[in-house]
Structure 1
Amino acid sequence: MSNNELLIISILFFGLGLYLFLQTRNISKQFKKSEDKKDYSNIIMMILLIIIGILFIPWIFSNSIFNSYGKSNEIGDTIGGITAPFINGLSAVLVYLAFNAQVEANKLVNDQFQLQQIESRFFELLKLHRDNVAEIGIGDSYGKKIFVTLIREFRLIHIKLQKINLEERINLNSRQLMEVSYLILFFGFGPNSSRQLEIALNHYNKTGLFDLLKLKFDNKDLKLVAMKERKLQYTPFEGHQSRLGHYFRHLYQTVDFIHEKKIDIDKYSYVKALRAQLTTHEQALLYINSLTQLGNRWWTKDYLIKYKMIKNIPPGFFNPETEFFRESDFPEKYFEHQLD
C-alpha cells in the first residue's frame, strides 16, 4: 500500500469516526431530555452509514485506485487494521457515555429516595404541629382559638406597661414595650418563672425594672379585675411558657428542617403548606415572638422574610399609634393585602 492510499484511507475513517462520535453525543443529549417526542433521524442516519460502509468499503478497495488488493483477505486485513483503532476509540466513547448515563440515573434514583424521605418527615412534622395546636389549652378553651385569647392578654399587658412606662419614666421605646410585654406574657410571675423573667429583662439594662413590674403585675386584685374586664377564663400574668415554648420550638424546627436540605426542592412550597396552618393571631404572635431574644433566630436566619411566615396579617391588625409594627421592615409585596 502506498503512502497516498494510506493517507486517503486514514482520512476517510477518521472522518467517519468523528461523525459517529458527534452523532453519539447528540443522541446522548437528546435522550437526557424529558420531552415525549424525540427526533430519531440521527440514529437512523448512523445505522444507514454503518451499513453502507460495511457493504461498499470492500468494493471501493477492489474497484478503485486501490488496485494492489486483489484478494479479499488482503482487503479484509487492511480494513481491519485501519479501522480497529477508530472502532476501539468509538467503543471507549460509548462506554464513557453509558457510564455517565448510569451515574445520572443513580443520582436521579438517590434524589427521588431523599425526596420521599423529606416529604415523609415533613408531613409527619406537619401532623405533629396540628396535634400540638389541638392540645394547647387554657381554661376550657383548646386549639387555635386560644391564640385569640393570648393576643388579648398580650394587649392587656401592653396597655398596662405603656402606662407604667410613662408614669415611672422607664424610657422604653415602642419596640421595647412590645418585647417586654411579650416576655411578661411568656414567662409571667410565679415561683420559677419570675426568676427566668428577671434574667430576660436584664437585657434592657434598666435597674429595678423587674422589681417594678413584679410590683405592678403580680397583684391579686389587678388579676381579678383583668379577668372580669377581658372575660378571661384563667388568671393572667402567670405565663404561658409551657404552651408557647413547645409551640414555637416545633414551628421553627419544621421550617429549619426544610431550609437546611441540600437537595434541589421547592422549599418555599413546603413552608407555605405549614404557614397555611397558621391563623392570623398565630402569625401575629409569631411576629411579636421574633422581636425578642426568644425568637430572634427568625430574623437572623431570614426565615420570616424568605418564607413569608406572617404574610397573612391584615392591615390594621396592629395599632400603628400604640403598637410596634413596621411594614417597611419587609420587602415590597410581602403581605397578602399588598398583592392587589
Structure 2
Amino acid sequence: MNNGEQSSKKNKESMKSDIFVRFLVIAGAVFIGVAMIMPFGIRYYYKSRISDYETIGNMGAIGDFIGGTTVAFLTAASVILLLATIIMQRKEIKISQQSIEELVKQTESSVKQAEEARKETKVTNDTMKKQQFETTFFNMINLHHNILKEIEGGRKYFIKLSAHMKEVYRLDGFRYFDEQFINEILKKDNEELDDLIEQLYVDDYVMWELENRFGIEPNELLAQALAGKDEQLEEKKEMRRLSFKELHLGNREAYRDILDSIRFDEYRYTSKPPISNEVINNFLDGYKINPGHELKMYVYEKVYEEAESVVGHYYRNLYRIMKFIQESDFDIDNLEVNEIEKRKYYGILRAQLSSFELMMLFYNVNYSTKGEKFKALLQNTNFFDDHLVEKDFIWTNDKEELKYFAKVGN
C-alpha cells in the first residue's frame, strides 16, 4: 500500500470518527434537554388531574418518579458525552503521535543527511589533505635529489665513505680498542694479573716460534708442537717463564710494555690463532667477531666528523622527510589504513636510496649521537627491513641492531 492510499484511508477514518462524535454530542444534549424539561412538563400535565392539588407538595409521589427518571437521562447524557470526550481525546492523541512520528522521521532524515554531508566533507578534506601532503612530500624528495647532486660523486660518495670507514676501523679503531683492552687487563688483581701476563709472555713467543718453524697452516709437526711433544719448544717455553719471573714479575710498567709489544694486530685477521689463550680469544671476540657499541661509535664519529660538511645536510633532510610522514594522519578513524599509507611513503622514500646510502644511513642513526632522534623516529617502522646487503656490513654483528627497527608483531 502506497503513501497516497494510506493517507486516503486515514482521512476516511477521521471523517467517520468526527460524524460519530457529533452524533454523540447531539444525543447527549438531547438527553440533557429532556431531563431539564421533563419536571415542568409533568407538573403542568398532572396539575389539572389531581383532585386535591393545592400546592406542588401534593405531587410528592409523582416527583419521586420524575426524579428517578431525570437522573437516568442525565446519567445517560453523561455516559454519552464521556464517550464522545474519550473518542476525541483518542483522536487528538493519535494526531499527536502522528506528529511525533513525522518529527522523528524528519529528524532521522536530517541526521542521515548530516551524516552523509559529514562523510562527503571528510572525503573531500582527506583528499585535500593527501594532495597537500603529497605535494610537500615530493617537493622534499626533489630537494633530496638536489642535495645528492651537490655531493661530489653523488651516490658513489657513499661507497667511498664505507671503504674509508673500514680503513679507519682497521687503523684508528684497532689502536682505540687495543688501548682500551690493555687498560682493562691492567685493572685486574695482582695475583691474577701476574699469571695472565706470564701466560701471554710465553704464548706470544710460542706463536712466533711456531710460525717461523712450521708456518700457520695445519700440519703434523705443528700439531705435535701444540700438543707439547716438541722437546725443543718445551725447553724454550720453560726458559721464557724463568725469564719473566726474573725480569718482570710484579712490575706493572713492564707489564704494559709486554702488552704493547704483543702482536694483537696479527690476530685480527683470523679467529683461529695457532695457540689457545683466553686473553687473545677475548681480544678477537671484542675486535673482530663481536665488537661493542662503544667501539663502533668511536669509529663512525671519527668518520662523520670528517664528512659532516658534505653529508650533514643530506641526513638532516632525510630526517625531516621521515618526521613529516610520521606526523601526518591519513585516516584518523582507521589506524590500520593510516599505517598502510605511512608504510607506502616509507617505501617511496627508501626507494630513493642506493644500497650504500641505506647502509650509511643505518650507521648514522645507530652509531652517531646526532642520529639518536632519527633512530627513535625509525623504531618499529621496518624501514631497513631486508634491504641492507649483509656482505657490505663493516661489522658482522650489525644485523643484531636491525631488531630495533623491526615492526612489533611482524
TM-score class, shorter: 0.5 to 0.7
Shift of 1:323: 4.8
User: Any idea what the Cα deviations from partners look like across 1:283-312, whole Å, max 9, x if unmatched?
Assistant: 1111111122121223323x1541423631
For each residue in 1:139-167, what CA deviation from the matched residue of structure 2 results, as whole angstroms up to 9, or x when unmatched? xxx21111101101111101112321354
Match of 2:355 in 1: 280
Query: Of the candidates 142, 158, 168, which is equivalent to residue 157 of structure 1?
Result: 168
* CA pair 81-253 structure 1, distance change in 2 beyond 3 A: closer
SS in 2 for 1:306: coil
| Cα distance change on mapping 1:262 and 1:332 into 2, 3 Å | closer
Query: Structure 1, residues 67-99: CA drift from partner, whole Å, max 9, x if none?
Result: 72689xx9xx96766523321232223223222
**Which residue is equivalent to 1:226?**
none
The separation in 2 between residues aligned to 1:253 and 1:130, in whole angstroms, is 14
Distance 1:103 1:257 in 2: 27
Within 2, Cα distance between the matches of 1:124 and 1:263?
18
SS in 2 for 1:296: helix
Of 325, 334, 338, the residue aligned with 2:398 is 325
Q: What is the aligned partner in structure 2 of residue 111 from structure 1? A: 126
Report the Cα distance in structure 1 between the residues aligned to 2:160 and 2:401, rounded to whole angstroms: 28
TM-score (normalised: structure 1): 0.58
TM-fit CA distance, 1:251: 0.4
When residues 176 and 166 of structure 1 are mapped into structure 2, their CA distance, relative to the original with a 3 A threshold, is closer
**Contact persistence 2:159–2:356 (CA under 8 A):** yes
Contact 2:173 2:299 survives alignment (8 Å): no
CA RMSD of aligned residues (A): 3.2
Determine if the alignment matches structure 1 residue 50 to structure 2 residue 61: no
**Pairing partner for 2:298 from 162, 167, 180:** 180
User: Which residue does the alignment assign to 2:374?
Assistant: 298
State the match for 1:45 in structure 2.
Answer: none
Q: Following TM superposition, by how much is the alpha carbon of 1:134 offset from its aligned partner in structure 2, in angstroms? A: 1.7
Does the aligned pair in 2 maintain the 1:290–1:299 contact within 8 Å? yes
Tell whether 2:307 aligns with 1:243: no
> Is the contact made by 2:382 and 2:406 (CA closer than 8 Å) also made in structure 1?
no
Q: 1:312 to 1:116 in 2, by over 3 A?
A: same
Distance in 1 (alpha carbons) for counterparts of 2:97 and 2:391? 84
Question: Higher helix proportion, which one?
Answer: 2
Q: Residue in 1 aligned with 2:108?
A: 93
Residue pair 1:299, 1:305 contacting (<8 A) in 2 also: no
Distance 1:82 1:300, change over 3 A: closer
Alpha-carbon distance in 2 for matches of 1:304, 1:85? 57
Letter in 2 for 1:161: D
Secondary structure in 2 matching 1:311? coil
- C-alpha distance after superposition, 1:246-270 (max 9, x if no partner): 1110001101001011332411101
**Residue 148 of structure 1 corresponds to which residue in structure 2?**
159
1:257 aligned partner = 324
Residue 309 to residue 150, structure 1, CA distance change in 2 (3 Å): same
1:178 to partner: Cα distance: 1.7
Q: Which has the larger radius of gyration?
A: 2
Structure 1 CA distance, aligned partners of 2:174 and 2:382?
A: 36
Distance 2:112 2:155 in 1: 57
- Pairing 1:8-19 to 2, within 5 Å after superposition: none
* Unaligned 5+ runs, structure 2: 24-87, 185-285, 332-337
C-alpha change, 1:307 and 1:279, in structure 2 (3 Å) is: same
Runs of 5+ in structure 1 lacking a partner?
A: 1-47, 188-238
